[in-house]
Structure 1
Amino acid sequence: MQYKAQLELLRQQIPVGIKHGLALLNKTNGDFDKARELFEEEMILLIMDKMQAPRNEAKDVLLACHYDIARTIAAIEERRYTLPERILRKTKDKEEALGLIAVNLEALLRPERDYWLLLDRLTGLHPAQYCLLAVQEWLNYEDWEGLDSAVYFHTGIVAALIGHELQLPEVAHVIIAAKERMEALLPVFQKTGDHSVIGGDTVLAGLRADFREGRELIIDRLYAYVVSQIRHFS
């Protein structure tokens, strides 16, 4: 193999593949120093293009990351964006992004839990922080326990947030109506033990269906709300 010694030395010093390394050496007639310079220039131009970065920044971060492109991109993004901003940029699923931002915020704030967040004891938070944590926790609870149980989990707090902060009064009304219907049915169920009292109630079934549609609206509106308030989540 032509330029074998130079190639081995080149690959010891920079993360270049065999084919790429030989191409560099062929372009420079086997000149090791020029081949390395050519590689460095290629990597700098690549990062400048991918990240719209000035030359000095691209070069400095590349050197610090030993020309690892993935690490360089990540390092530049960390310089430019907070963790919540990076989550929004990289996570396409809105519900997943909200969950990740909420987890990060909770790690920073360390609010009190008794398995579930104690929404009535969350104090000292910015309204945007409180809205995300409370609504996200309630949605998690509903996803785990179902709407019939979720209507008893801080319903007043969450319905107010959904109705006012997220401007979805119709969805808030569905949640409140579901709670009122459960409260009307529960004494009958407790007296008879007949599960069909709740499970077969057509009014409650309709409210469950309405909530399933409304849940998507909550996610969309909460996501837009968090995007508009992103500075408060880091």
Structure 2
Amino acid sequence: MAQAVLMQHDIRSDSVLRAERIAALAPPLGCVVVLAEWLAYVEWEGLDSALCMNLDGINALLQAELGLPPLARDNVELQQRRLAQALYAYIQRQIAVFPA
């Protein structure tokens, strides 16, 4: 889903304007792209590294868009499951703004 949004809006990983272009997306699209990429980073590099990557921005999205509490270092697996479930429910509620 996030990859389709990036492709539709011609946002590549080598783009100097990547962050600006993601920020210009409709809020639900930008939220899903940022959180999906952050979750992928968790899988690639581990949570300790991911907690150093834009944690303030991630926590702001979690609270404002998904209604979740900020991430913490304890109970990681439970937090990841809740985040994935909340993100899936968020996409279902906002499905009209996503590309087909």
Structure showing greater radius of gyration is 1
1:37-75 deviation line (CA, Å, top 9, x unaligned): xxxxxxxxxxxxxxxxxxxxxxxxxxxxxxxxxxxxxxx
After TM superposition, give the deviation of residue 223 of structure 1 in Å: 0.6
Percent identity (aligned): 30
1:181-212 deviation line (CA, Å, top 9, x unaligned): xxxxxxxxxxxxxxxxxxxxxxxxxx2xx121
Matching of residue 138 in structure 1 with residue 38 in structure 2? yes
In structure 2, distance between residues paired with 1:219 and 1:227: 12
After TM superposition, give the deviation of residue 112 of structure 1 in Å: 4.3
Q: Tell me the residue number matched to 1:125.
A: 25
Structure 1 letter corresponding to 2:85:
D
Structure 1 letter corresponding to 2:48:
D
After TM superposition, give the deviation of residue 150 of structure 1 in Å: 0.5
Relative contact order, CA 8 A, sep 6+: which one is greater?
2
Matching of residue 232 in structure 1 with residue 97 in structure 2? yes
1:152-188 deviation line (CA, Å, top 9, x unaligned): 111111111112211111xx241xxx4xxxxxxxxxx
Q: Tell me the residue number matched to 1:87.
A: none
After TM superposition, give the deviation of residue 110 of structure 1 in Å: 2.1
After TM superposition, give the deviation of residue 114 of structure 1 in Å: 4.4
Q: In the alignment, which of 88, 92, 95 is matched to residue 223 of structure 1?
A: 88
In structure 2, distance between residues paired with 1:157 and 1:113: 19
Q: How many residues in Structure 1 have an aligned counterpart in Structure 2? A: 96
Q: In the alignment, which of 72, 77, 80 is matched to residue 212 of structure 1?
A: 77
1:96-151 deviation line (CA, Å, top 9, x unaligned): xxxxx112111101224249xx5x43231111001100000000001110011001
Q: Tell me which stretches of 4 or more aligned residues in structure 1 moved more than 3 Å.
A: none
Q: Tell me the residue number matched to 2:7.
A: 107
Matching of residue 164 in structure 1 with residue 29 in structure 2? no
Q: Name the SS for the 2:61 alignment partner.
A: helix
In structure 1, distance between residues paired with 2:71 and 2:81: 15
Contact residue 71 and residue 79 of structure 2 kept, 8 A: no
Q: Name the SS for the 1:125 alignment partner.
A: coil
TM-score, normalisation: structure 2:
0.86
For structure 1, which runs of at least 5 residues remain unmatched after alignment? 1-100, 179-206
1:41-190 residue pairs with structure 2 within 5 A? 101-114=1-14, 118=18, 120-121=19-20, 122-169=22-69, 172-174=70-72, 178=73
